[in-house]
Amino acid sequence: MARETILLTRQDIGRQIDVVDGIDAIEQAMGAYERGTDYLPPKAIFDVPVGEPAFAACITGMTRAANLLSMKLGHERTNNPQRKLPTTSSWISCFDPLTGELLMICDGTLPTMYRTAAAAAVGARQLARADSRTLAVIGAGQLGRECLRAVASVRPFTRIVVHDRFVEMAHSLVREMSGRFTVPLEVASAEDACRAADVIVTATNSREPIVMNEWIRPGTHLSCMGADLHEKIECEMALLPRCRLFADKIEHALIRGEVSQAVEKGLLGKDCYVGSLGEVINGAPGRRSAEEITMFDGVGIGIQDTTIVRTIYDQAVKQGLGQRIAFS
């Protein structure tokens, strides 16, 4: 008889795991993926014809370490804030790869934020200067919130600066996080945040550059996570040739990541990435000097979802969390 399926809401997941719990597993998964052990079918991303920018996506992954097949269905609706709804939402189904049993259906939005923020943190752990002291978080939405917590855990930061185009969003995140950190958290303009930063994380859905070239000091590391579609961009294109560039998956990042508009315009070649972050995890050279500017361009890969939902599933089984349903 097939195993029961576990149903988990976003609240269930938020209660059981923390973003910081996922960083090591995501790092190991990104390294293992580059060693060729895992299975990553192509992403399917398509327009939903509703007369305004609307996208749906199916993102799948399977890893040996997780022994799980995950299939995520996601949506993005740019105008949702006007409806008082989040811009992005998703759901993940997890299957036993051998038997095809449906083991879990869960909220995919929080796991997506966790795995993306964990990847941003891995980017900073692998590429930022060891003496980085100021972290700037650009974008105070759901991804920015998790990025702040994850990236702040990988270097001994003494100052955290948050920027959002809606200053109240930035204040709200700073208020929420102030109780969790002993270091000062501040709200700042994009310029002040970037000029002060040793590490910058971008987590917006902007379609205009926010991070300007002249604000970025030598030695800075950027983990750019918000641009996951060709239309989105967070950094001024002139900054990109100054950076030693890494991606999570180069083929995807070239068409949908932070560099994609610069590649289309011919400002950067298709060989602009030095390599993948997974290769750096596996020992390839990352940062080569204290002056180099490094950038990790993360568009998200299915094996990151697989990895994070394995942890969620195991905890749910162990602690008896969520509802159970027998479909047959």
Which C-beta is closer to ligand NAD: that of 112 or that of 261? 112
Cα 138 → chain centroid: 13
Q: Identify any residues that bridge with 83 across adjacent strands, giving them in sequence order.
A: none
Taking alpha carbons only, the member of 58, 108, 297 closest to residue 200 is 297
Nearest alpha carbon to residue 110 among 9, 217, 181: 9
- DSSP letter (8 states) at residue 157: -
Toward ligand NAD, which CB reaches closer, 53 or 219? Answer: 53
Please provide residue 7's backbone torsions phi and psi, each rounded to the nearest 5 degrees: -110, 125
E strand map for the chain = 5-8, 44-47, 54-63, 68-77, 88-95, 102-107, 134-138, 159-163, 185-187, 199-202, 221-224, 243-247, 273-276, 293-297, 323-325
Beta carbon nearer to ligand NAD, 158 or 189: 189
State how far Cα 11 lies from the chain centre.
20
Residue 133 or 165: the one with the smaller Cβ distance to ligand NAD is 165
CB of 300 to ligand NAD, least distance (A): 2
CB of 216 to ligand NAD, least distance (A): 16
Please report how close the Cβ of residue 240 comes to ligand NAD at its closest, in angstroms. Answer: 17
**C-beta separation of 139 from 41 below 8 A:** no
- Dihedrals φ, ψ of 237, to 5°? -60, -30
Residues 6 or more apart whose Cβ sits within 8 Å of residue 58: 43, 44, 71, 72, 73, 74
Which of 28, 317 has the CB closer to ligand NAD?
Answer: 28
Cβ 60 to ligand NAD shortest distance, Å: 14
Write down the least CB distance from residue 98 to ligand NAD, Å: 28
Q: Given the complex with ligand NAD, which of 141 and 278 has the nearer CB atom?
A: 141
Instruction: State the residues that interact with ligand NAD by CB under 6 A.
Output: 76, 86-88, 112, 116, 139-144, 164-166, 169, 203-206, 208, 210, 225-226, 228, 232, 298-300
Cβ at position 129, least distance to ligand NAD in Å: 23
- Give least dist CB 279 to ligand NAD, A: 19
Each residue of 178-206: b (16+ CB within 10 Å) or e? eeeeeeebbbbebeebbbbbbbbbbbbbb
Q: Is the dihedral of CA 286, 18, 201, 33 positive or negative?
A: positive
| Smallest distance from ligand NAD to CB 38, Å | 17
Q: φ, ψ for residue 292 (rounded to 5)? A: -65, 145
What SS3 class is residue 21? Answer: helix
Task: Rank residues 72 and 244 by Cβ distance to ligand NAD and give the closer one.
Answer: 72
Count the neighbouring beta carbons within 10 Å of the beta carbon of residue 299: 25
Smallest distance, ligand NAD to C-beta of residue 320, A: 30
When computed from its CA atoms, the radius of gyration of the chain, rounded to whole angstroms, is: 19
- Measured from each CB, the residue nearest to ligand NAD is 141
**C-beta of 104 vs 138, nearer to ligand NAD:** 138
Judged by beta carbon, residue 61 or residue 226, the one nearer ligand NAD is: 226
